[in-house]
Amino acid sequence: MTLILTCATPWYLMQVSDRLLTTRLDTTDGVRVSPWDPSSNKSVIFQATNAVVSLGYTGPGFIEGVPTDTWIVERLSSKAIPGAEFGRPFGLEVGRTRQAVDIGSAIETLRSECQTACSRMPDGSLGRLEISLCGWQWKRKGKRFESRPILHEIQALPASECESKPDGLPRYWDFNKEQRERYRLSVMPDGHLSDSQLEDLCRELDGVYRDPEATADVLIETMRNTSEKHPEVGSDCMVVHMPLPSLRRIEATYVSEVTRGDEPVAGYSPWVVSSYTRTAPSEIVGNMEIGLGFFTVYIRGAPPTASTAGWPEGFPDPPDEFKALNPNWKTARTVFRMRSQPRRTWP
C-alpha cells in the first residue's frame, strides 16, 4: 500500500510517493506485511497534447499479470509492452506509440480501463485501486499560452462504479488576490493520516508552501513518520517537482535514507511517457536528462564518487570536471546499469 502526498500551489506542484511494494502474509501470529519488490516503481510522468502530469497509484502491485505502473503506461500509450509480464525489456523506446491525445481523453481512458479491470474480477480480488494525478494544463490564446494547475483522482473500488474526481483548482489562482487558499493538499489513500496529523501537516505547510524545497522536506518527513507506524508504507520516496510550465523543466528525485557504507545508494527513475517515446524506470547513479516535448525531465540520483563512477568503454572521454572528481575513472566499475543509454549529464 502506497501513500501519495500531493501539494498544489499557483507556482508549482509537488508529488511525493513511497516506492515500497509489500505483500501481506497470513501467519499463525496474524497478518504480516513484508517487502516484496524493492525495485518497484509507482510514478509515471506523462505528456498529453495540452498538459504534462505526474501520476502515482496505490493499490494492487499487478493488474492482469503485469506490474501496475506498466499497466498504466500501456493504457496511456495504447500499446502493449512486449514481455511486460516477465519484467521491463527496454530502457528507451522511440517512435509514435499512439495518436496524440489531450489530458481529458487520457483520464477517461484510465477511468474506463480501471472499470473494465474491476469488472473482470467480480470477486473483488483486484482490491482498491486509486490513481492520483497532478500537473499543468494549458490552452492557446492567440500567440500565447495560458496554463493552470490541475489535480485529479481516479478511484476504482470492488463492485462499484469507477469514479473520476477532478479537484477544482482556481483557474486564475495566482492573479486572484482575494483567493485565500494558497495551496491544496491531497492525501491518498485515506486512513494513514489521522485528523490531528493532517492538521499538523497543514500547519507546517502554512509557513513553507512558497518554498518548494521546504515543502518537499515536510512531505518527506511526513512519509517517513508514517512508515514507522504503517509497515506497508516505505521510507524511500520519489519526489516529482513541477514548477511553472514556462520554465520547461520537471524534476524527479529519489530520496533514500539507506546507505551502504561509504557508497551511495543507486537512485531510480520514474516512467516518462508521451505519444512518441516511452522511457522505462532505471537504476542510476548520477543525474540524467530525458527530453519530453518542450520539457526536460531532470532525474537526480545519488552523486557518483571516485569509487563508484566509471566510464563505459567505447564512449568519448568524459569532461575534465568529471576526471578531476574521479581520478580512477578508467578502471572504476561502471554503475550505469541501464537497459539503454539515455543522454547523461554530470553533477
pLDDT, mean over the chain: 77
What CA–CA distances, in Å, run from 256 to 35, 76, 298, 336, 337? 16, 29, 18, 18, 18
For the cut 50, the answer to whether the pLDDT of residue 344 exceeds it is no
Residue-level pLDDT at 239: 93
Who has greater pLDDT, 254 or 2?
A: 254
Greatest mean pLDDT among 73-82, 103-112, 253-262, 300-309: 103-112
Amino acid sitting at position 143: K
Residue 42 pLDDT class (50, 70, 90 cuts): confident
Residue-level pLDDT at 345: 37
Who has greater pLDDT, 74 or 173?
A: 74
Residue-level pLDDT at 334: 36
User: How many structural domains comprise the chain?
Assistant: 1
Among 72-76, 105-109, 234-238, 314-318, the range scoring the smallest mean pLDDT is 314-318
For the cut 60, the answer to whether the pLDDT of residue 320 exceeds it is yes
Residue 148 lies in a domain: yes
Residue 323 lies in a domain: no
Residue 331 lies in a domain: no
Residue 312 lies in a domain: no
Percent with pLDDT over 90 in the chain: 26
Q: Both ends of the chain: CA-CA distance in Å? A: 34
Q: Which distant-in-sequence residues (6+ apart) come within 8 Å of 67 by Cβ?
A: 40, 41, 61, 84
Who has greater pLDDT, 72 or 1?
A: 72
Residue-level pLDDT at 37: 60
CATH number at residue 284: 3.60.20.10
Mean pLDDT for 205-234 is 89
Write the Ramachandran bin of 314: left for phi over 0, alpha for psi from -120 to 50, otherwise beta.
left
* Domain span holding position 50: 4-304+337-345
Residue 56 lies in a domain: yes
Residue 141 pLDDT class (50, 70, 90 cuts): confident
d(CA 257, CA 237): 9
For the cut 70, the answer to whether the pLDDT of residue 296 exceeds it is yes
For the cut 80, the answer to whether the pLDDT of residue 127 exceeds it is no
Cβ(118)–Cβ(71) below 8 Å: no
What are the backbone dihedrals phi and psi of residue 256, each rounded to the nearest 5 degrees, phi first?
-125, 140
CB-CB neighbours of 38 under 10 Å = 12
For the cut 70, the answer to whether the pLDDT of residue 315 exceeds it is no
For the cut 60, the answer to whether the pLDDT of residue 7 exceeds it is yes
Cβ(309)–Cβ(286) below 8 Å: yes
DSSP secondary structure letter of residue 285:
B
Residue-level pLDDT at 167: 75
Residue-level pLDDT at 242: 95
For the cut 90, the answer to whether the pLDDT of residue 65 exceeds it is no
Handedness of CA 105, 52, 281, 125 (dihedral sign): negative
Residue 284 lies in a domain: yes
Residue 315 lies in a domain: no
Residue-level pLDDT at 22: 59
For the cut 90, the answer to whether the pLDDT of residue 165 exceeds it is no
Residue 319 lies in a domain: no
Residue-level pLDDT at 1: 60
